[in-house]
Amino acid sequence: MKVLWLSNSAFVSEKTKVTGSWLQPMAEQLASFITLVNITNGIVEKPILGNFKNIKQWIIPTKASNYGQEASVETCSIVKDIIEKEKPDLVHIWGTENFWASIYRKGCIDVPTFLDVQGLLAPYTEYYYGGMSIKEIFQSIHMKEILMPSRTLFHKKEVFRRRGVAETANIKVFKHIAYQSQWVKNYLLFVNPKAKLYPTRIMLRSSFYDSVQWKYREVDDAPVVFSTCSAAVSYKGMHIIIKSISLLKEKYPNIKLKLAGNINVGQRLLDGYSVFLNSLVEKYNLKSNVIYLGALNENQIIEQLQNSNVCVIPSFIETYCLAFAESMIVGTPTIASFAGAMPELAENGREALFYNSVDYYACAGLIDRVLQDKELAESLSKNGRLRRMKENDKDACVKTQLEIYKEVLSNEHNQSNI
């Protein structure tokens, strides 16, 4: 079987700090059973063919309109030409938040194709502000937003909505769609009820499986709370965790909140939401308590998780949440917002603890509970790690993916014979 991927991930040898890097270990495992070709976009003038281990990889120049959701005629032509050269049995499109799915909608792929939903745009729009009040949203408007109104949260939400409209149009044309969670399935059943839906599994980055399990650390006045996001975006809820830490500071004067990811977004001028986060740090006198770690690779994330007392995932919406799964598999006691698909990843009170997304008092209370209860912390650690080892098992992930490929091809064959 020959499968061709359309993805945003270029496979490389070094550890990366970008989102979507979990696709590479999946590709490496699958390549032992099938012939795999990856098409991805890059800063190149013409298509470049290379090899990563035993995977053929095309890096192509791309152009897209409608905020990156619509592939240009040139991009469609390049992809169509490569597909004709490679002659795959199946095309696997990863994600809806970009232009790859539009290539199928435009009729440029004439072999069996299925879509794998990762993040989603349209339903995220409803949660874009992350529970911020109108006053707080206006407090995120600074010089950059005055000079460039398109950088305000109001406009960014509108862009998300428009991209979501294009995303929905793309989803509606697919006959075969894979989903990572029941939450995503529920959404798809209303957007495209005619599609055949396939439950899939997520393979984590390789180092997480081999990581040494988190061990309980005695709590003094300087416990460490870890959280991560790819970038400071309002619906990721970083303002909630900062507020929670402000409540805990009286009890733990030297508490540390370590935030991984690009928190200070912007070069010459910071984005307003980043400025807002910094203003919260200053308002609550947390300059010595909140530490921005920047983008981290997988080994660095594991190290931070192992050296933390607790991990908090404050996002307002997730289709799955790899950060949650990675924290659990390391064994770090994890507290998460009860939102989107995240409640599907763990049983409350046994494998993780959940709180209402906007309730930073409840979040702070759960952090304190984990810090004060060694038995609870160790129980969450053990049970969370066991569940992730089972549900994200490498062999199970590969088996499921291969079964999906075979089932899609079988369904396509049966339809063609009708």
**Model confidence band, residue 15 (pLDDT cutoffs 50, 70, 90):** low
pLDDT of 47 above 90: yes
pLDDT of residue 274: 94
Average pLDDT score over the chain = 94
Eight-class DSSP state of 315: -
Dig out the tokens for 203 from the structure.
């393979």
Q: Is the pLDDT of residue 19 over 70?
A: no
Percent of the chain with pLDDT over 90: 87
Which residues touch 116 (CB under 8 Å, ≥6 apart)? Answer: 92, 93, 94, 95, 177, 178, 200
Higher pLDDT, 358 or 16: 358
User: What's the pLDDT at 18?
Assistant: 53
List the one residue out of 317, 390, 383, 316 whose CA is nearest residue 352: 383
On whether the pTM is more than 0.85, the answer is: yes
User: What average pLDDT score do residues 212-224 get?
Assistant: 94
Is the distance from CB of 237 to CB of 130 less than 8 angstroms?
A: yes
13 pLDDT above the threshold of 70: yes
- pLDDT tens figures, 328-387: 999 999 999 999 999 999 999 999 999 999 999 999 999 999 999 999 999 999 999 999
**pLDDT, position 412:** 86
